[in-house]
């Protein structure tokens, strides 16, 4: 393994000299040379010049089939023609009015028509902001402080949810939090009905949060969440920042038939233009409504943000959702992803590599290692809580896939998201790249 690591790094550094040069320059400007934790990669990340459809090109002139997908935002792929035309047209009319406009209403009506839980809508500038407002709404509505979330689930960068992403589970995932900012947050194992009921039974929990995308949540467990939150008068919040509009036009809640009280949206809701939204039950959302002076001062949840519902984002959102509302883009992406997962698994089996390819809808993950649940798993959601992700193997896989023209992420092993722009040719080339990469690694 050590020899292969050295050989892979040597090939990587030799093939991408301009990316290496830019990274050295970036390290003198940004902490660790990167502008997002998810883009940190050693010996250096690949620097991109432009993208179109399912492909990207780097500063050294190499082409990639992209599965990073703008951190999950680009279900339509890069630079969808309808989106580009709409955005360019809106730029000529104005980017930011700082005033109400018709586009915000049209966009919100589209969201209401698609998302089952969206009785009322409020726009934010990011998924993190949607989470901040969602937590405040839940606390204001219930009069409670506690938050329950599931281990490994990510809900943005707000302080109250900065535990539970990795072990030790009760230690914040970031330095710099003030004392007490996470003391009311509890992170519990997913799919554990007893742990969930124990956490809620004190009737002091304002909200239960769940992230459906790549989170190991069994589809049947959503109904358990709904039943227990109703039993203990706790609000249920679905973080559909990634799964919203990607899994179906109505998100995971439409698929599983469970309607939460609140839903966080982002990423795909505007085709890649920065945005977020919190939607949900009218009585909960109306905690943001203006009323009498006493209510406004002491009970109302305030909502501000300079760029909220700016016309450029709204125009992009309308163009995106009109396409996604048909459901056909999601079907195509899911079909291509099934083909990819099957091909990766076939390649692993042929080479005798322990592990599996799994995922649901338009997501895929490759796990390298033994799994005692392998013969009892449908390969949609990983229920193996004892699996050990090998960072060294993940890094080697990402490096070798890049050498073979494929760009993936590495949240839980090499993984990614498929867009409507990916073709059968893209998928087959990616399977070939996995074959070549696995040969180099194993």
Give the count of beta carbons closer than 10 Å to the beta carbon of residue 282: 10
Summarised one tens digit per residue, pLDDT across range 248-268 is: 999 999 999 999 999 999 988
The DSSP annotation for 300-330 comes to PPP---TTTT-HHHHHHHHHHHHHHTTSHHH
Name the strands in the sheet holding 363-368, side by side, starting at the edge strand that comes first in the sequence. Answer: 355-358, 363-368, 415-417
Q: Name the pLDDT band for 2 (thresholds 50, 70, 90).
A: low
Which domains, ranges and CATH numbers included, belong to the chain? 2-78+328-441 (3.90.1150.10), 81-324 (3.40.640.10)
The mean pLDDT of 365-371, rounded to a whole number, is: 92
d(CA 386, CA 250): 32
Q: Which residues pair with 187 in a beta bridge?
A: 149
Give the count of beta carbons closer than 10 Å to the beta carbon of residue 122: 21
Summarised one tens digit per residue, pLDDT across range 16-70 is: 999 999 999 999 999 999 999 999 999 999 999 999 999 999 999 999 999 999 9
d(CA 64, CA 187): 38
| pLDDT at residue number 94 | 97
d(CA 214, CA 336): 17
The mean pLDDT of 367-371, rounded to a whole number, is: 90
Summarised one tens digit per residue, pLDDT across range 325-351 is: 999 999 999 999 999 999 999 999 999
- The residues, ordered by sequence, that sit 6+ positions from 37 with a Cβ below 8 Å of its Cβ are none
For residue 52, the SS3 value is: strand
| pLDDT at residue number 421 | 98
| pLDDT at residue number 135 | 98
The pTM of this model reads: 0.96
Q: For 51-63, b where at least 16 C-beta lie within 10 A, e where not — what string?
A: bebbbbebbeeee
| pLDDT at residue number 382 | 86
Residue 51, φ and ψ in degrees, nearest 5: -150, 155
Summarised one tens digit per residue, pLDDT across range 378-426 is: 888 888 877 888 999 999 999 999 999 999 999 778 999 999 999 999 9
Alpha-helix runs per DSSP H in 234-375? 251-256, 282-285, 293-298, 311-324, 328-350
The DSSP annotation for 167-222 comes to SSTTS-SSS-PPTTSSTTEEEE-TT-HHHHHHHHTTS-EEEEEE--TTS---TTHH
């Amino acid at each position: 393994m050590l020899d292969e690591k050295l050989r892979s790094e040597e090939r990587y550094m030799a093939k991408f000299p301009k990316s290496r040069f830019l990274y050295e320059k970036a390290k003198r400007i940004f902490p660790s040379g990167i502008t997002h934790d998810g883009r940190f990669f050693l010996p250096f990340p690949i620097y991109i010049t432009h993208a179109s459809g399912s492909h990207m090109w780097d500063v050294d002139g190499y082409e990639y089939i992209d599965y990073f997908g703008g951190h999950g935002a680009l279900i339509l792929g890069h630079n969808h023609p309808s989106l580009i035309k709409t955005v360019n047209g809106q730029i000529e009319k104005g980017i930011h009015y700082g005033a109400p406009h018709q586009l915000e209403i049209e966009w919100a009506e589209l969201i209401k028509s698609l998302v089952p839980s969206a009785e009322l809508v409020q726009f934010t500038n990011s998924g993190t902001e949607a989470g901040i407002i969602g937590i405040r709404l839940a606390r204001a509505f219930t009069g409670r402080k506690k938050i329950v979330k599931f281990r490994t689930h990510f809900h943005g960068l707000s302080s109250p949810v900065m535990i539970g992403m990795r072990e030790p589970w009760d230690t914040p995932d970031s330095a710099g939090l003030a004392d007490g900012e996470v003391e009311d947050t509890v992170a519990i194992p997913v799919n554990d009905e007893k742990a969930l009921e124990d956490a809620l039974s004190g009737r002091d929990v304002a909200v239960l949060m769940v992230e459906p995308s790549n989170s190991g949540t069994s589809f049947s467990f959503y109904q358990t969440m709904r039943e227990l939150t109703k039993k203990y008068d706790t609000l249920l919040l679905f973080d559909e920042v990634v799964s919203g509009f990607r899994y179906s036009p109505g998100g995971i809640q439409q698929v599983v038939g469970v309607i939460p009280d609140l839903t966080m949206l982002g990423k795909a809701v505007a085709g890649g233009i920065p945005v977020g939204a919190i939607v949900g039950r009218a009585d909960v959302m109306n905690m943001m409504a203006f009323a009498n002076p006493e209510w406004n001062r002491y009970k109302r949840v305030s909502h501000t943000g300079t760029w909220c519902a700016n016309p450029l984002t709204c125009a992009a959102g309308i163009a995106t959702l009109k396409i996604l509302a048909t459901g056909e883009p999601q079907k195509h992406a899911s079909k291509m992803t099934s083909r990819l997962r099957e091909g990766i698994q076939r390649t692993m089996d042929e080479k005798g590599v322990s592990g599996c390819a799994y995922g649901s809808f338009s997501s895929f993950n490759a796990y390298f290692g033994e799994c005692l649940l392998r013969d009892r798993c449908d390969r949609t959601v990983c229920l193996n809580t004892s699996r050990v992700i090998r960072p060294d193997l993940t890094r080697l896989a990402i490096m070798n896939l890049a050498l073979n023209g494929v760009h993936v992420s590495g949240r839980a092993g090499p993984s990614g998201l498929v867009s409507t722009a990916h073709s059968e040719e893209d998928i087959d080339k990616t399977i070939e790249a996995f074959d070549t990469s696995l040969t180099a690694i194993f």
